[in-house]
Structure 1
């Protein structure tokens, strides 16, 4: 057998020698900051599921538990077309949404993983709202989760639509729109939720101020950043 090499003791450092310390590298800009900003924009836009609509125009409504849920005539229908439509039976939250119609407004794109027409229970809606906060900073996420728990949603109905152009009438392009209707326990909860949401969007200092709605002084509209894709 070959004898093992003898172990060598560590050589003491020369007390007169000085260690050469490398100069610190210049600080680089944190590449996560732009990504974090984009993430906040994306997450904030879907707090109430509006971002679940795959493109197009989004609309979010709230009804109070026990209130009259008659949807009435669709605003985009002519009087004759509205009269020809059979009225949906007012049972359940989904009955308040405008039904799909053969005159152009048909089934739209999927709303996330839920398809184009779905109803969620209060527990499902609450879990989904909290899931949408996942990308926010911890402090903001916890604050908003507490607000969600304080004002629970009793249920939620979602439906998306697409309107194809009538080429024989000179129309071009198509329009997609999604409606997310949340049911809450009281009008006070609706007002408080709206106030918290508006304050949160305004505090981000990211969104642009949108148009005002005549007759609704407390309503706020927010537009995405001008440089967003």
Structure 2
């Protein structure tokens, strides 16, 4: 934690507009990568951001995955008649799992993402404990401060689902519910502010209709790595949404942005699509 200064968040009181963040000075690529690998698991609180930010290279070699989808505006890929009963499209047996976007035509359930698999859920108590455990590298005052930050989130549950397409892309979506909407906005502002303070990211692409509550980030140009990645953060009321994607070049950023857009619309009107 010695390499980075935590951005300061000031909520502005507007329910629809995040607070402001005092940005950090630009970091050199080497230092920024060190910050990502060592500090993000702590200061971002939720590990979803750390994955793509640290060049996640997960399960893209043996994928059988198909093309992008658009479920909303005269969609090319139509939802099934009863996705709640179709396990191939994801679980819909709990309040949180119903909020996850059903697997669209052209995609399938992706690889497992840690303990929760490719379509799992965790209670707020267990999710809080797991997040605190992620601070095992900290000691004393820093660990106590980290655990206090986790407690203040008042997490009620987390649901995850992964999607895979026919090219090489894997997309992981996480929805976390908290009791306090203000905490959700603050977490979003904090995480986006930190990413924007590091010189290795650029914001791209924009999520249509969600300029205030959703942002996506990719690594700046110049990487010679064969794997590309993308991270998106969003919020809606008491829900914090994270979408991370990785795949071989050429990487379809538009498809990831469209899936996030569909996910946000699904949260608004889940009954129409499940």
Give me the TM-score of the superposition, normalised by structure 1.
Answer: 0.56
Aligned equivalent of 1:153: 155
Aligned partners of 1:90, 1:108: CA distance in 2, in Å?
19
154 and 77 in structure 1: CA distance in 2 versus 1, 3 angstrom threshold: farther
151 and 42 in structure 1: CA distance in 2 versus 1, 3 angstrom threshold: closer
**Structure 2: any 5+ residue segments left out of the alignment?**
1-30, 59-69, 85-91, 226-274
Query: Does the 8 A contact of 2:195 with 2:201 survive in 1?
Result: no
Give secondary structure in 2 for the equivalent of 1:99: coil
136 and 221 in structure 1: CA distance in 2 versus 1, 3 angstrom threshold: farther
Aligned partners of 1:201, 1:48: CA distance in 2, in Å?
13
RMSD in angstroms over aligned alpha carbons?
4.0
Aligned partners of 1:209, 1:141: CA distance in 2, in Å?
31
Aligned partners of 2:151, 2:199: CA distance in 1, in Å?
26
206 and 159 in structure 1: CA distance in 2 versus 1, 3 angstrom threshold: same
Give me the TM-score of the superposition, normalised by structure 2.
Answer: 0.48
Q: Alpha-carbon deviation of 1:227? A: 5.1
Q: Alpha-carbon deviation of 1:42? A: 6.5
Aligned partners of 1:35, 1:115: CA distance in 2, in Å?
28
Aligned equivalent of 2:41: 43
Counterpart pick for 1:201 among 182, 195, 211: 195
Q: How many residues align?
A: 170
Aligned partners of 2:214, 2:131: CA distance in 1, in Å?
21
91 and 120 in structure 1: CA distance in 2 versus 1, 3 angstrom threshold: closer
Aligned partners of 2:139, 2:200: CA distance in 1, in Å?
17
Aligned equivalent of 1:131: 133
Aligned partners of 1:77, 1:141: CA distance in 2, in Å?
50
**Structure 1: any 5+ residue segments left out of the alignment?**
1-32, 57-72, 165-172
Q: Alpha-carbon deviation of 1:41? A: 6.6
